Amino acid sequence: MAEQTPLYIIASPHPRVGKTLLARLLIEYLRADDRPLMAFDLNPREPTLSSHFPDLVWTVDITDTRGQMELFDQLIVDDFMAKVIDLGYAPFEQFFAVMAEINFVVEARRHAIEPIVLFVTDRAPATARAYEVLRRLLPTTIFVPVHNEAVSVTFDKADFPPSRNDCRMILIRRLSPIVRGVIDRPSFSFSTYMLEKPGGPTEIHDWVDTIFKEFRELEKRLLMSHLRASIGGSPIRAAPRTR
């Protein structure tokens, strides 16, 4: 039974909703477990993720066929490396259109790679429509909604149902403005801070620990679902779609 290697795709049709922050947290979480990984920044004009991890992140422009081939060829390699994509809002539609056109999810699973879309929500009706369109375009793909309180405190959960019942929403709580200014610095490392900051737990410690626990629980639920499916257990139930 092959172990599934995760491919995390962090996406939203809008800018400045916390996609790169989520990508940073996920990379730090994987590195804290000493897991091999590779990351991709699909914001070639403003590669913020690359500035935080210059030796780890590839910056890729997918506006042409060459860039698309370069990216998707890397994503399908049997290297047992977890992968993280920070998908900018500009290539949002193009990326998922290519993904559907080449039947990428089926091919990825042949290589024991599991694409997981972490979709950052907001209150705009267009965002809920984009989420529904994506789920219909990629019906077998795992979609996990992510709510960032720094973007909107409230939203309608019914607009962003997870694709499966074991993929419940991830919550990123709002940080105080002073702390947010600290973590936005290019030199700031969540994992280093968690290990080296003296003086006991701080707001950042509690915040990061909570998010890392959410990542860990998501991975556990996905692993259990994969094991059940592999041994012919109960089928995984899809969450209901809205509208």
Domain made up of 5-230: CATH architecture: 3-Layer(aba) Sandwich (3.40)
Residue 236 has pLDDT above 80, yes or no: no
Region of residue 232 (left: phi > 0; alpha: psi -120 to 50; beta: else): left
d(CA 136, CA 241): 9
| Rounded Cα distance, 18 and 171, in Å | 12
Is residue 80 within 8 Å of residue 2, measured between CB atoms? no
Mean pLDDT over the full length of the chain: 89
What confidence tens digit (pLDDT) does each residue in 5-30 have?
A: 999 999 999 999 999 999 999 999 99
d(CA 185, CA 76) in angstroms, rounded, equals 32
The residue extents of the domains of the chain are 5-230
Residue 157's pLDDT is what?
Answer: 77
CB 113 within 8 A of CB 121: no
Q: CB neighbours of 10 closer than 8 A, spacing ≥ 6? A: 19, 22, 23, 26, 84, 85, 86, 87, 118, 120, 146
* Euclidean distance between CA atoms 148 and 120, whole angstroms: 7
CA distance 34 to 2: 20
Residue among 123, 126, 113, 166 at smallest CA distance from 143? 166
pTM above 0.75, yes or no: yes
pLDDT of residue 97: 97
User: Using one digit for the tens of pLDDT, what is the confidence trace for 197-216?
Assistant: 656 688 999 999 999 999 99
User: What is the rounded distance in angstroms from the CA atom of residue 173 to the CA atom of residue 149?
Assistant: 5
Q: What's the Rg (C-alpha) of the chain? A: 17
Q: Is the pLDDT of residue 151 over 90?
A: no
Residue type at 139 in one-letter notation:
P
Instruction: Tell me the CA distances in angstroms from 197 to 51, 84, 184, 201, one per residue in order.
Output: 23, 27, 17, 9
